[in-house]
């Protein structure tokens, strides 16, 4: 089978790695890919948010299956165009991708299904939003409705912070994404992520994870795209998972099918868990980054069979072959991230790292210069390992990190502390 993966971060490196483990894969192209992905697959330049361009590329390259990594092409309707052209696609159509592309839409689905989530109100007018915040008080959460590259959520500890967020959003800081604002009750509890595959109708759980969003050790400092993750998440017990499936995820999938916009792909539910009860924080319509790195290492080659079954509407016949294992990924970032950082520093030692079914260094933002790997973004490497226990996985990860020679990079040394 000839396969195309859209995207070029650590998530897509992990997806590409898992796909390449499966003998079913004859040819793999990743667009745009990165220097690490180029070690295992062909990389191509392609406008991945342009459905017509992706369809033409698939025809030229005899592609049979397309896996869409990031949310932007999904929200732009690339999966719709590919399905119209008769291709097998992993990822939802634009209408179902609204679960991530519009926070107000997700709230509407929760209202329709009675799924437990934070109380909320939605506004297109700043004065009404301010009145609501003044009545509700703080803490309170202010969200731009649309896609804002992970930056559109303000957890305000004071009323003033919330009012400032309203000014920023209606002042255009997030462009169109902030034209509507959702204001939510602040939920207490511990967060964890639940990943399921969906084929329009059937739902198959494929794992749980927790990530660390703050840049500093002890979960301090500014928010980032994620500094590390581990799977499974101990807080997401079988009982919590069952309740999330019964009260949140299956009703969502059924409601979308009922509306004639069935969901196909991976559905990533961010849950807030308190006293053993899950509530929905948000949906994402793609794998998490860096959560995909730990999920793919745990699943290996079967990930391709499962994604293909989800795309083809055949999940009912599928089972996940679980190993009783644990995985961890630690992000190495360029000094200064998530603030200003330099690009182009040389990373040595990557060629000598182990690359086994237990240990692998996925690349997020690297390129090649004069034959050497250089950093080309903020979050650069995802050093990933699995083991019989989380502490064994952790030991393997930090052993690898100690062998990477990159003076201009840093990582958190305490990933997994909550679970260890
Ligand atoms: P989101 O982009 O919706 O995942 O929001 C980013 C982060 O903000 C989440 O991972 C939570 O840590 C936090 N958050 C979002 N909504 C709420 C809420 N209603 N209560 C508490 N924390 C929240
Ligand atoms: N790691 C969080 C995300 O991918 O949204």
- pLDDT at residue 274, rounded to an integer: 97
User: Which residue from 230, 236, 263 is spatially nearest to 249, judged by alpha carbons?
Assistant: 263
Does 226 share its domain with 310?
A: yes
Q: Which of 12, 211, 223 to mutate to test the pocket of ligand 2 (most atoms within 8 A of CB)?
A: 211
**3-class DSSP state of 273:** strand
Dist. CA 284 → ligand 2 center (Å):
8
**Is residue 419 in some structural domain?**
no
118 CB within 6 A, ligand 1: yes
Ligand 2 atom with the shortest distance to the CA of 11: 4
Dist. CA 112 → ligand 1 center (Å):
21
Is residue 36's pLDDT more than 90? yes
As a whole number, mean pLDDT of residues 208-234 equals 94
Does 254 share its domain with 291?
A: yes
User: Which residue from 281, 268, 305 is spatially nearest to 69, judged by alpha carbons?
Assistant: 268
Does 256 share its domain with 353?
A: no
User: Which residue from 378, 330, 368 is spatially nearest to 347, judged by alpha carbons?
Assistant: 368
Number of structural domains (the chain) is 4
Ligand 2 atom with the shortest distance to the CA of 288: 4
pTM: 0.96
Structure tokens at 278: 């899950």
Expressed as residue numbers, the domain containing 75 is 2-94
- pLDDT at residue 150, rounded to an integer: 72
Alpha carbons within 13 angstroms on the beta-carbon side of residue 366 total 29
Q: Which ligand is nearest to the CA of 214?
A: 1
Does 278 share its domain with 393?
A: no
221, 277 contact by CB (below 8 A):
no
217-226 pLDDT, tens digit per residue, is: 999 998 888 9
Buried b or exposed e, range 78-116, using 16+ CB within 10 angstroms: bbbbbbeeebbbbbbbbbbbbbbbbbbbbbebbeebebb
180 CB within 6 A, ligand 2: no
66-90 pLDDT, tens digit per residue, is: 999 999 999 999 999 999 999 999 9
Does 133 share its domain with 229?
A: no
As a whole number, mean pLDDT of residues 324-341 equals 97
As a whole number, mean pLDDT of residues 38-60 equals 98
Does 305 share its domain with 195?
A: yes
Dist. CA 130 → ligand 2 center (Å):
29
Residue nearest to atom 15 of ligand 1 (CA): 281
Picking from 264, 285, 317, the residue at the C-terminal end of a domain is 317
Picking from 115, 146, 179, the residue at the C-terminal end of a domain is 179
Is residue 251's pLDDT more than 90? yes
Does 340 share its domain with 370?
A: yes
Is residue 171's pLDDT more than 90? no
Is residue 149's pLDDT more than 90? no
**Is residue 102 in some structural domain?**
no
Does 86 share its domain with 203?
A: no
């Amino acid at each position: 089978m000839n396969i195309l993966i859209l995207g070029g971060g650590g998530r897509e490196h992990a997806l590409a790695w898992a796909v390449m483990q499966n003998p079913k894969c004859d040819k793999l192209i990743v667009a745009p890919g990165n220097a690490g992905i180029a070690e295992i697959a062909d990389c191509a330049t392609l406008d991945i948010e342009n459905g017509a361009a992706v369809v033409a590329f698939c025809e030229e390259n005899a592609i049979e299956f397309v896996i869409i990594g990031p949310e932007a092409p999904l929200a732009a309707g690339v999966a719709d165009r590919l399905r119209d052209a008769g291709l097998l696609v992993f990822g939802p159509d634009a209408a179902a991708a609204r679960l991530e592309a519009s926070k107000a839409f997700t709230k509407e689905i929760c209202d329709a299904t009675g799924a437990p989530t934070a109380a909320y109100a939605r506004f297109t007018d700043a004065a009404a939003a301010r009145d609501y915040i003044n009545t509700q008080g703080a803490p309170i959460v202010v969200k731009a409705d649309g896609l804002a590259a992970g930056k559109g959520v303000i957890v305000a500890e004071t009323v003033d912070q919330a009012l400032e967020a309203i000014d920023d959003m209606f002042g255009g800081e997030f462009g169109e994404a902030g034209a509507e604002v959702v204001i939510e009750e602040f939920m207490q509890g511990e967060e964890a992520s639940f990943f399921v595959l969906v084929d329009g109708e059937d739902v198959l759980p494929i794992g749980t994870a927790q990530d660390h969003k703050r840049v500093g050790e002890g979960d301090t400092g500014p928010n980032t795209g994620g500094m590390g993750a581990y799977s499974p998440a101990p807080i997401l017990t079988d009982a919590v998972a069952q309740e999330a499936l019964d009260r949140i995820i299956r009703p969502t999938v059924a409601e979308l099918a009922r509306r004639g916009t069935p969901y196909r792909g991976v559905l990533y539910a961010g849950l807030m868990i308190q006293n053993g009860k899950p509530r929905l924080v948000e949906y994402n319509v793609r794998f998490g980054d860096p959560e995909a790195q730990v999920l793919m290492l745990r699943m290996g080659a079967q990930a391709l069979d499962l994604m293909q079954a989800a795309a083809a509407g055949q999940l009912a016949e599928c089972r996940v072959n679980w190993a009783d294992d644990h995985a961890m990924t630690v992000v190495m970032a360029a000094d200064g991230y998530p603030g200003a950082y330099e690009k182009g520093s040389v990373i040595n030692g990557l060629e000598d790292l182990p690359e086994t079914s237990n240990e692998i260094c996925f690349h997020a933002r690297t390129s090649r210069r004069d034959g050497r790997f250089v950093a080309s973004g903020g979050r650069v490497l995802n050093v990933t390992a699995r083991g019989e226990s989380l502490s064994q996985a952790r030991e393997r990860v930090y052993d690898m990190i100690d062998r990477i020679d990159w003076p201009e990079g840093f990582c958190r040394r305490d990933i997994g502390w909550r679970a260890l």
